[in-house]
Structure 1
Amino acid sequence: MECSAFQLFLWFAKVLGLLAALVVARGVLWLVNLLVVAPRFDPLRNLPGPDAPAFHSHFHEVNDPDITPAIYHDWTKNLFGKTFRYHGYGKHDYRLMSFDLRVLSHVLTSPVYEKPWQTRAYLGRLLGRGKTLSQSRRKRKFTVIVGVFNMEGAEHRALRKLIGPAFTAQAVKGMTPIFFQKAEELRDRWDALLPANGPGSATFDVAHWISRTAFDIFGLAGFDYHFNALHDESEQVYSAYRRMFTISDKASQTRVLKQLYLPIVERIWPDEDDKITQQCLKTIRDCGIGLIHTKKETCMAEKLDFRSEEKDILSLLIKSNLSNEPSNRLSDTELLDQLSSFLFAGSDSTAVAITWCLHILSQHPDVQDRLRAEIISGPAPDTTTSSKRNSTSSVSSTSSVMQADTIDALPYLDAVLRETLRVSPPVHGTVRVATTDDLIPISSPVILRNGKIIRENEHIRIKKGSFVHIPVEGINMSEDIWGPDARQFNPDRWTSLPAGATPPSFPGLANLMSFSFGRASCPGYRFALLEAKIIIATLLPQFVFSPVEGIEIGKYNSVLTRPFVREKLDTEGIQLPLRISRYID
């Protein structure tokens, strides 16, 4: 009996040993294929590009907005041309980058290319996850969604159609009283904080104040919900978002990799930041679901249509959703995912754009003076609607829409904002992955490492699973498009665009990548542009913006390109201090 037990033990030990050996062998084979075999057959291997040791990454050179303008210029003009490859997580990880507009157009419009699962998983963790929408019958592969910005395929097209009514030109104009109301509140808050008499001046963290303003605007325009962040930052949903994004901004590369590839660690041994993030997501979700239920009941009870007084995005989205066939409608959880995505894209990215605009104006006082003169020489603010703007209603008024149209048409304001978005886009770059082998057409020749030339109107090969980096900032500052002064801030370029920059290839702005284009173009670009113009037009007649002496502002890329004070990022985080004083005519 003892012998039999011992033999059984030996048998189990042998089986376990064999299984362990198989696992190790498979791991070794996978590693050998990853590091040695697959790279040798990768067609990107033959493209020009920077070289480095085996496990060196070029992520710093590619993603750091403090250095990328100079590096992109050197790579494209002096070394590799418009299309090349670089190292991702090592020499084995070849990634494509191109400044060839034909390449970018192909990648951003072809269904072959999607956002990588890593990007979708990271944003999903940040914004909260909706339920699974679809399942591949062949591979049993689940698609998890986190809003329109993270979706692909048929679901993405269906959702773009669903949210369309919320971002039409007419719908955005209906939100202008909210833009004016919150811009005036910010102006009044700053005025109250300055010395009572005379021009006075004080240093404000403009990034923080503009973020609070944009959050308030999207709370009302998006959900008809009052965050009141400009007056009190204690509202629970606002606080949850701010704490969550603060954690995201300071996240290290190691932490991000752990979240993506070892999520079980976070579930079993969550650290303090993990716990705070989950608490914040619960707060946001609980409040959001309650808000959706209330709004849906109102829409259904009153049978509201698109001509009704309810103009907030949530109402429009619910009405559009209810008009669909029941089988095609989004659940409440999925609606919340869209709102979370809109809140991030509609408030944070717009706030970043306005912040960079004020920073640039502080560095170019001549531009600031000229823009202020244009705004002041326009129609005086309509004080007759101030009571409506300060009310809790989001009802549009004819006078506010007319005033917004006037501001929207100011040529120099339009040029300044376009130029800001060109040199300081909120999104520094983005990534796509090939879902199958593909041939990418080019318009500029590529000289391969073996001396062979891929000529204009020919193709470069890319294999399934390869990453393509879309250099948003790089295209925005390409000398081939914008001329030799492409890296300089010059609003006057918009009155005499180079020949290659005239086609309106990208939404709303000629040849700007700031709102992307194709399938992934930003649906809310009208909202963002008009909000930014109204805030700037409200602030500039009242204040003068100047740099704070003794500090230098840098750019930090964390989902969005944010400002920080050099040498103080680790201790003080994201900020943009500016010296603000009253404007005295």
Structure 2
Amino acid sequence: MSTVVLLLAGLPLAFALWWLFKDLIVRSPLDNIPGPPPQSWLSGHLPRIFHRHEGWKLHDELSENYGGVSRIIGALGVKYPFFIDVTTHSVASRFQKRVLYVYDPLALHSIVIKDQAHYEEAPYINTINTLMFGPGLTTLPDEPHRRLRKMLTPVFTISHMRHMTPIFYQVAHRLRGGIGKQVSQSSGDVDVLNWVSRTALELVGQGGMGYSFDPLVEDAKNVFGDSIKGILPAMFALASYLFMTPYIVKIGSASFRRWVLDNLVPSSKVQRLKNLIDVLDSESKDLLAKKRKALEDGDEAVKQQIGEGKDIMSVLLRANINATGVDQLSEEELLAQMRGLIFAATDTTSSALAQTLQLLSEYPEVQEKLRQEVIHASGGDIETDIAYDELVDLPYLDAVCRETLRLYPPATDIPRHSVKDMVLPLSTPIRGVDGTYMNELAIPKDTRLIISIRGCNRNKGIWGDDAYEWKPERWLSPLPNTVTDARVPGVYSNMMTFLGGSRSCIGFKFSQLEMKVVLSVLLKNFRFSPSGKKIVWNLGPAKYPTVGRESTHAELPMKVELLKA
């Protein structure tokens, strides 16, 4: 009798152990995909691939030593929850023993275009984005996403970019004035990252919402802008707990959860993130109400706003008024677009501008050649702005921007997961662990994938042996056949920097124009040189520079010289 009782008592334990460790015992088709051995059985590769310094080495090791698809090992515990999907009950999604690292062009085409409906963002990421920003472009399912993107597309046309150009120049000239004043009053280094970060926020503020965050003078404060800049650091302070979000949102009503958050959660980190999101919510509601009232009051009221009603949100509001039925956006959807636009456009643009200026400081001959091009396009007058059509066609400026975004994309990778069993085609066969060559891969449901933007952009099989070199000149002559024949599914210049397909970055032309306007104004007025301090770029959602490896303070000091008129 006692034996039967023990057996019955042990069955739940045995089942639980099987449920937990089945993924370690039962073989998967992914096991035949090659990849580097993990340093730790418990945490796999995740501590390295997301480490702000060591991550670069693993990304490059995967790109250089393995094929277009390789296998890395995920974590068994919850310390590194980046790929844990707690909304399902599969062992694979809870413990993520196997994660695929992908940069093969044909595989990427399947993931981001042909079969993109079957490769989605991780549910916990969507939940967090929805909680913070609302039902925006990045979180909506396919059909609502398609309708919203269709409504937003006219805002990012070339015709509308022409209207944006004077607004961008106004901001760039304020930046010039701010830097010029600092240079004239101090002989020390200039923190270029601080200035371009503030400028990126102001550009999306004026061009995106008809709102000014920052006059671009020293020590300017704006509660709205400060909340936006503070959200990402506050999120990363809580990274080890954010994976629980899909569970938390199922507990009681929204008002009950808010009461618990206000009264029963003493964590200063949690309260800081909550307060930042509260500011973002209240300020965006206030701004949207003002913009709607201006539209109701007529053309004269609209013209009194920053940008005279040509900003993205004003255009979107007018389009929404004319929309009917399911095509019309709700109040919360309009607010979500506003919040998401600001948040997504700030860190990526500032990272790209900072990286470009650093490279120009390290390659003075490139900087001088580019300076002469923009001065010549201005008719020799540094005060003259270059018209949109001529600015976007300046060959060397375009080459510098393209090469920087190829070699140093602001976002290194993008996560996806398969929502059903799939077959992933390969443009180049990979050799399996068992020695066989594979032209396609069986991808089980709930497999996590890392789309490697960096790996694809630096693929030597596509770009040649000099793929790791920063060479703007490569864009001044026809690209090699290997580039065009690869059919990389990116929306921009045979690269994955802005992704591809229906989920590509809708604002990439907006971002390109921002970069070119700012660079054209700065280079006509300043010469940039290295500070002599060791600059280290840190891996993150948008990479950022620090002085040395130990510092966590994002900055990019440079020597800046004011040029004589």
Alignment check: 8 A CA contact 1:506 1:515 kept: no
Alignment partner of 1:417 is 2:401: yes
Q: Tell me how far apart the structure 1 counterparts of residues 407 and 358 of structure 2 sit (CA, whole Å).
A: 12
SS across alignment from 2:537: strand
Q: CA separation in 1, counterparts of 2:549 and 2:23? A: 43
1:381, distance to aligned residue in structure 2 (A): 8.0
- Counterpart AA for 2:97: D
Q: How far apart are residue 378 of structure 1 and its match?
A: 1.7
Aligned counterpart, 1:57: 44
1:528-572 CA distance string (max 9 Å, x none) = 0011001001001211111112x22222233211111224424xx
Taking structure 1 as the reference length, what is the TM-score of the superposition?
Answer: 0.82
2:269 is aligned with 1:273: yes
Partners in 2 of 1:87 and 1:261 — Cα distance?
25
Rounded to whole Å, the distance in 1 between the matches of 2:353 and 2:422 is 39
Q: Is the 8 A contact 2:96 2:448 kept in 1?
A: no
Q: 1:548 to 1:309 in 2, by over 3 A?
A: closer
**Paired residue type of 1:556:** N
2:458 is matched with which residue? 477
Which residue pairs with 2:560 in the alignment?
A: 580
Provide the secondary structure at the position in 2 that maps to 1:362. helix
Paired residues for 1:375-390 under 5 Å: 375-380=374-379
Identity among equivalent positions (%) equals: 28
Point out the more displaced range, 462-471 or 575-584. Answer: 575-584
1:15 is aligned to none
Residues 293 and 326 from structure 1, CA distance in 2 versus in 1: closer, same or farther, beyond 3 angstroms?
farther
Letter of the 2:536 counterpart: G
Whether the 8 Å CA contact 1:212–1:229 is kept in 2: the answer is no
TM-score by length of 2: 0.84
What does 1:70-219 correspond to in 2, within 5 Å?
Answer: 70-78=57-65, 80-90=66-76, 93-109=97-113, 110=115, 111-125=117-131, 128-130=132-134, 145=135, 147-195=136-184, 201-219=187-205
CA contact (8 A) 1:507 1:515 kept: yes
Superimposed CA distance per residue, residues 486-523 of structure 1 (whole angstroms, 9 cap, x where no aligned partner): 11111011123221223785566321111111122111
Contact 2:382/2:524, CA 8 A, preserved across alignment: no
User: How has the CA–CA distance of structure 1 residues 203 and 379 changed in structure 2, closer, same or farther, with 3 Å as cutoff?
Assistant: same
Query: Which has more radius of gyration?
Result: 1
Q: d(CA) in 2 for partners of 1:476 and 1:70?
A: 16
Q: Contact 1:220 / 1:312 at 8 angstroms: preserved in 2?
A: yes
* Secondary structure at 1:174 match in 2: helix
Q: Deviations over 1:366-413 (max 9, x none)?
A: 21111112112222488999xxxxxxxxxxxxxx6x623222211111
Match of 1:519 in 2: 502
CA contact (8 A) 2:183 2:190 kept: no
CA contact (8 A) 1:289 1:332 kept: no
Q: 1:248 aligns with which of 229, 235, 245?
A: 235
What per-residue deviation string (whole Å, max 9, x for no partner) do you get for residues 139-160 of structure 1? Answer: xxxxxx3x21233321211111
Secondary structure of 2:498's counterpart equals coil
Distance 1:157 1:366, change over 3 A: same
> Is the contact between residue 418 and residue 509 of structure 1 (CA under 8 Å) also seen in structure 2?
no
Q: Distance in 2 between matches of 1:270 and 1:25?
A: 40
User: Per-residue CA shift, 1:89-110, capped at 9, x if unaligned?
Assistant: 1486101122210001101112
Q: CA deviation at 1:363?
A: 1.5
Q: Secondary structure at the match of 2:428?
A: coil
Q: Which amino acid aligns with 1:336?
A: L
Tell whether the 8 Å contact from 1:545 to 1:581 is kept in structure 2 after alignment.
yes
How far apart are the structure 2 equivalents of 1:31 and 1:469?
Answer: 29
- State the alpha-carbon separation in 2 of the partners of residues 44 and 175 from structure 1: 48
> 1:459-489: per-residue Cα shift (whole Å, max 9, x none)?
2101111111101111111111111111111
1:233 alignment counterpart? 220
Partner of 2:469: 488
Provide the residue aligned with 2:540 in structure 1.
Answer: 558
Is residue 63–residue 429 contact of structure 1 (8 Å, CA) maintained in 2? no
C-alpha deviations, 1:157-205, integer Å up to 9, x for none?
Answer: 1111121121111112111111101111111111111236xxx853111
1:580 Cα offset (Å):
1.0
Residues 133 and 336 in structure 2, CA contact (< 8 A), matched pair in contact too: yes
**Matches of 2:188 and 2:393, distance apart in 1:** 32
Tell me the residue number matched to 1:454: 438
| Separation in 1, partners of 2:241, 2:54 | 24
Aligned counterparts of 1:39 and 1:406: Cα–Cα separation in 2: 62
Q: Does 1:292 align with 2:296?
A: no
CA distance in 2, matches of 1:276, 1:43: 44
Q: Which moved more, 1:175-184 or 1:494-503?
A: 494-503
Q: Helix, strand or coil: the match of 2:184?
A: coil
Count matched residues: 521
1:502 aligned partner: 484
Contact 2:228/2:343 (<8 A) preserved: no
In structure 2, the CA distance between the partners of 1:193 and 1:345, relative to structure 1 (3 Å rule), is: same
Task: State the alpha-carbon separation in 1 of the partners of residues 373 and 242 from structure 2.
Answer: 46
Give ranges in structure 2 of 5+ residues lacking alignment.
Answer: 77-94, 252-256
* Aligned partners of 2:545 and 2:555 also within 8 Å: yes
Once the two structures are TM-superposed, the CA of residue 68 in structure 1 deviates from its matched residue by 5.2
Q: Flag the 1:492–1:68 CA change in 2: closer, same or farther, 3 A.
A: farther
Deviation of 1:226 (Å): 1.7
8 A Cα contact 2:109 2:489, kept in partner: no
Letter in 2 for 1:524: G
Distance 1:39 1:577 in 2: 52
Who is 1:10 aligned against? none
* Contact 1:102–1:441 under 8 Å retained in 2: yes
- Residue 290 of structure 1 aligns to which amino acid in structure 2? D
Distance 1:294 1:46 in 2: 58
Q: 1:539 maps to what in 2?
A: 522
Aligned-partner Cα distance in 1 for 2:232–2:393: 34
Alpha carbons of structure 1 residues 155 and 301: separation in structure 2 relative to 1, 3 Å = same
1:389 corresponds in structure 2 to none
Distance 2:296 2:285 in 1: 16
One of 19, 28, 45 as aligned partner of 1:33: 19
Alpha-carbon deviation of 1:246? 3.5
Q: SS of the counterpart of 2:555?
A: coil
For 1:486 and 1:30, how far apart are their aligned partners in 2? Answer: 49
Partner of 2:90: none
Q: What is the Cα deviation at residue 301 of structure 1?
A: 4.8
In structure 1, C-alpha distance between the alignment counterparts of 2:71 and 2:527, rounded to whole Å = 45
Q: Is contact 1:43-1:462 (8 Å) kept?
A: yes
Distance 1:300 1:92, change over 3 A: closer
Deviation of 1:272 after TM superposition, in Å, equals 1.3
Amino acid at match of 2:73: H
The question of whether the paired residues in 1 share the 8 Å contact of 2:168 and 2:517 is answered with yes
Alpha carbons 1:178, 1:220 under 8 Å: kept: yes
One-letter code of the match for 1:274?
V
Give the AA of the match of 2:43. Answer: H
TM-aligned CA distance change 1:164 to 1:113, over 3 Å? same
CA–CA distance in 2 between the matches of 1:284 and 1:552? 35
In 2: Cα distance, 1:295 partner to 1:94 partner: 48
Are the structure 2 counterparts of residues 552 and 122 from structure 1 closer, same or farther at C-alpha, using a change threshold of 3 Å?
farther
Separation in structure 2 between the aligned mates of residue 242 and residue 523 of structure 1, nearest angstrom: 22
